[in-house]
């Protein structure tokens, strides 16, 4: 199976996609993970692509579509992606989707399904703006769903917790605005191809996962095991 998972920041893509790919037995391909790994890689086979990627990331610039498409195509050519894959964080624009679809269709392995994780703006703000992080050990908390035992302090070492700059309400609203302009048109792209499904992303992680598993045809006997 070849899947694309779409959804705004705070929809829970990272949590759900890694679990789904594992249960389906397919490669989980997240562009953020790929970029970080390539930036620190010493693999000589990746050197040309990695050097180009680092040149943008080290300057704090966005990685251009052309390079992103090339990096993803390189990853999709690896053996573990042959039986199937789940794309997380790519494509982000219809331009990227057009390149991806053309390449995969030429190989005779088109995308089977795109899934849209549906969540409201207020819920996104509540999820992201309530997140706190320990600057020492990286432990993550949430004011609503996973609060620290002592308000404002890390459970592990007592360090004062901080809010990431991109998790403030103002920053979240800016991220959603960018998402709306760049990524929402992808919904129309995949809907026009007849492969878009929607999943309600509000609820507990297990509740959302069961909906997602059902949509992709993963028949399960309770949470945590496929049948």
**Considering 109, 175, 211, 220, which one is annotated as catalytic?**
175
Determine whether 131 is an active site residue. Answer: yes
Average confidence (pLDDT) over 110-114: 97
* Residue 36 is among the residues annotated as catalytic for this protein: no
Sheet-wide strand order for 196-200: 27-30, 85-88, 2-6, 113-118, 196-200
Confidence of residue 134 (pLDDT cuts 50, 70, 90): very high
- Torsion, Cα 57 187 129 121, to 10 degrees, reads 150
pTM check: above 0.85: no
Which residues, other chains included, contact 52 with Cβ-Cβ below 8 Å and sequence gap of 6+?
67
β-bridge partners, 192 = none
- 13 a catalytic residue: yes
What span, in angstroms and rounded, lies between the C-alpha atoms of 101 and 16?
A: 23
Alpha carbons 114 and 71: distance in angstroms, whole number: 21
- In angstroms, the first-to-last Cα distance of the chain is 16
Query: Is 19 among the catalytic positions?
Result: no
Q: Is residue 87 within 8 Å of residue 4, measured between CB atoms?
A: yes
Given 92, 109, 113, 211, which residue is catalytic? 92
Task: Give kind and range of the element (H or E) at residue 23.
Answer: helix 13-24
Condensed to tens digits (0 to 9), the pLDDT of residues 170-200 reads: 888 888 888 888 888 899 999 999 999 999 9
Catalytic residue check, 59: no
Secondary structure class of 181 (helix, strand, coil): helix
All residues at 6 or more sequence positions from 173 whose CB lies less than 8 Å from its CB, including other chains: 125
Identify the active-site residue in 2, 13, 75, 116.
Answer: 13
Q: How far apart are CA 160 and CA 152, in angstroms?
A: 6
Please tell me which residue in 75, 116, 127, 131 is annotated as part of the active site.
Answer: 131
Furthest-apart CA atoms within the chain: distance in Å: 56
Pairwise CA distance, residues 223 & 112, whole Å: 24
Q: Are 131 and 140 in contact (CB under 8 A)?
A: yes
16-69 residue pLDDT tens = 998 999 999 999 999 888 888 887 766 655 578 888 888 888 877 778 889 999
Question: Strands, DSSP E only, in 59-102?
Answer: 85-88
């Amino acid at each position: 199976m070849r899947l694309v998972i779409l959804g705004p920041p705070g929809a829970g893509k990272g949590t759900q996609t890694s679990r789904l790919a594992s249960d389906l037995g397919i490669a989980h391909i997240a562009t953020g993970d790929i970029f970080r790994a390539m930036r620190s890689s010493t693999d000589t086979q990746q050197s040309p692509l990695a050097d180009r990627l680092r040149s943008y990331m080290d300057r704090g610039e966005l990685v251009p579509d052309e390079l992103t498409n090339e990096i993803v195509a390189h990853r999709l050519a690896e053996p573990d992606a042959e039986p199937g894959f789940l794309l997380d964080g790519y494509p982000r624009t219809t331009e990227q989707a057009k390149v991806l679809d053309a390449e995969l269709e030429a190989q005779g392995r088109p995308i089977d399904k795109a899934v849209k994780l549906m969540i409201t703006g207020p819920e996104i703000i509540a999820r992201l703006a309530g997140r706190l992080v320990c600057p020492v050990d990286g432990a993550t908390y949430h004011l609503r769903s996973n609060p620290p035992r002592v308000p404002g302090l890390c459970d592990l070492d007592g360090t004062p917790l901080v809010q990431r700059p991109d998790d403030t309400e103002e920053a979240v609203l800016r991220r959603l605005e960018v998402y709306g302009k760049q990524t929402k048109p992808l919904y129309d792209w995949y809907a026009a191809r007849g492969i878009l499904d929607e999943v309600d992303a509000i609820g507990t992680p297990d509740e959302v996962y069961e909906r997602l598993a059902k949509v992709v045809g993963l028949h399960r006997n309770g949470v945590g095991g496929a049948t």
